[in-house]
């Protein structure tokens, strides 16, 4: 499979040079998007030209709008029907809802209907929404397969297939769902967009299966520097972590995300910290979709709030104005560390990241430093308020 890489060109002054139609340009202007990001500038013309695209970029690059805008334009030529023209597969409910929100926001001047199909929401409610017509389905694979097999969703008219965050879709359940869905796809090859933050061999193997001669659009991972994120670490005993976190919360008045390993850790930390009379929300995979959405909304709206979460919030979620990220439990890889601390210092703002490290995790710290090309400052408990 040949994959020409789209060369980088000097960024356009605005979106008008990318071939977008007036309703989309007016919407972009209204919501304050004046210039395309690098990934948007490279991707939009390729999709408008009918090519499959392999997008390799990190969260925060403007990747979702890069594929949503040209897809909205191309399907606006069709009448709304009961069968979807676009299927966007996401790894989690939150990302599905977020991507659907982008579709609705950018397509507000077009007569298009977007529906979310995922677990955690009553099936009957989703089936009813589909009966009112649909252009775009944003789905997680489990619920999608369920409704396709039942005949509630017909995929034979698909014009576009998007696999978003594909490196997170490589589990056995997803592979089984995709194999089961294949007979329900159209006989022809829908134009396909494949997005992944990283491109290891298993991800590339999946890309080869679902795309045809894709143009590869790649934006280098953003370099994290002390100027953007103030990174510090403290060596601690495991049973001292909650005390240190409590001290850190006294030093920052703003939005704070605390990452822990498991859902049980989330609840344990919440029970202790809620005694401080702080606004605290929690997020983990066992919460219902309604509860997860409510927690995220409350965290976003409250200027001084804390979110205790597993890695479900480390990637993809659009959470702005986070002042501090605390790694109460260290991530399992340098890549996840980068995604976690990337929740802060977004949109050109400054932020801080603080990691609590046991002596057994010192080698992981070295791997992280090698990955980001930067030595993380080791501090002491006495210096926490400095």
- Residues 208, 236, single domain; the answer is no
- Residues 254, 110, single domain; the answer is no
Mean pLDDT, rounded, for 170-178: 84
CATH number at residue 179: 3.40.50.300
- β 53-56/215-218 pair status: parallel
- Residues 210, 241, single domain; the answer is no
Q: What is the pLDDT of residue 189?
A: 94
Least confident range of 195-204, 224-233, 240-249, 341-350: 224-233
- Residues 212, 272, single domain; the answer is no
- Residues 135, 110, single domain; the answer is yes
Domain C-terminal end among 218, 244, 267: 218
377 domain-assigned: yes
- Residues 174, 129, single domain; the answer is yes
| 309-367 pLDDT per residue, tens | 998 877 666 677 888 999 999 998 887 888 888 888 766 677 899 999 998 888 899 88
Domain C-terminal end among 218, 240, 257: 218
Domain count, the chain: 2
Please provide the size of the chain in residues. Answer: 386
| Cβ atoms < 10 Å from Cβ of 356 | 22
- Residues 76, 176, single domain; the answer is yes
| Parent domain of 146 | 15-218
- Residues 253, 203, single domain; the answer is no
Q: What is the pLDDT of residue 348?
A: 63
pLDDT score of 68 more than 90: yes
Domain C-terminal end among 165, 188, 218: 218
Residue 32: C-alpha distances to residues 37, 43, 277, 288 (Å) = 13, 20, 37, 33
The pTM assigned to this predicted structure is: 0.66
Between the two ends of the chain, the Cα-to-Cα distance in Å is 54
62 domain-assigned: yes
| 268-303 pLDDT per residue, tens | 999 999 888 889 999 987 888 788 888 888 898 888
| 207-236 pLDDT per residue, tens | 998 999 999 998 765 544 445 788 999 999
Rg of the chain in Å (alpha carbons): 22
pLDDT score of 250 more than 90: no
Q: What is the pLDDT of residue 266?
A: 93
- Residues 153, 257, single domain; the answer is no
């Amino acid at each position: 499979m040949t994959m020409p890489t789209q060369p980088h060109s000097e960024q356009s002054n605005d979106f008008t040079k990318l071939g977008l139609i007036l309703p989309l340009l007016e919407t972009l202007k209204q919501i304050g998007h004046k210039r395309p990001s690098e990934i948007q500038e490279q991707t939009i013309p390729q999709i408008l030209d009918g090519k499959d695209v392999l997008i390799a970029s990190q969260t925060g690059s403007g990747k979702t709008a890069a594929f949503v805008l040209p897809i909205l334009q191309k399907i606006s030529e069709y009448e709304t029907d009961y069968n979807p023209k676009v299927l966007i597969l996401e790894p989690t409910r939150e990302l599905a809802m977020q991507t659907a929100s982008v579709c609705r926001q950018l397509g507000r001047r077009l007569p298009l209907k977007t529906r979310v199909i995922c677990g955690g929401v009553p099936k009957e409610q989703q089936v009813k929404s589909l009966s009112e017509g649909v252009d775009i389905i944003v789905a997680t694979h489990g619920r999608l397969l369920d409704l396709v097999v039942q005949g509630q969703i017909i995929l034979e008219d698909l014009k576009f297939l998007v696999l978003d965050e594909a490196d997170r879709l490589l589990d056995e359940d997803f592979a089984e769902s995709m194999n089961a869905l294949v007979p329900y796809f159209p006989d022809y090859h829908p134009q396909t967009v494949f997005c992944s933050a990283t491109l290891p061999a298993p991800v590339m193997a999946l890309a080869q299966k679902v795309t045809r001669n894709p143009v590869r659009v790649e934006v280098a991972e953003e370099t994290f520097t002390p100027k953007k994120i103030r990174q510090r670490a403290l060596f601690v005993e495991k049973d001292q972590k909650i005390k240190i976190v409590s001290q850190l919360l006294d030093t920052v008045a703003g939005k704070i995300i605390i990452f822990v390993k498991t859902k049980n850790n989330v609840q344990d930390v919440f029970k202790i910290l809620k005694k401080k009379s702080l606004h605290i929300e929690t997020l983990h995979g066992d919460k219902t979709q309604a509860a997860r959405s409510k927690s995220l909304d409350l965290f976003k709206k409250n200027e001084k709030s804390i979110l205790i979460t597993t890695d479900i919030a480390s990637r993809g979620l659009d959470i702005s104005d986070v002042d501090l990220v605390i790694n109460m439990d260290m991530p399992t890889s340098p890549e996840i560390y980068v995604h976690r601390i990337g929740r802060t210092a977004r949109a050109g703002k400054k932020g801080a990241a603080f990691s609590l490290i046991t002596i057994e995790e010192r080698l992981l710290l070295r791997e992280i430093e090698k990955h980001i090309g930067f030595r993380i400052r080791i501090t002491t408990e006495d210096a926490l308020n400095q």
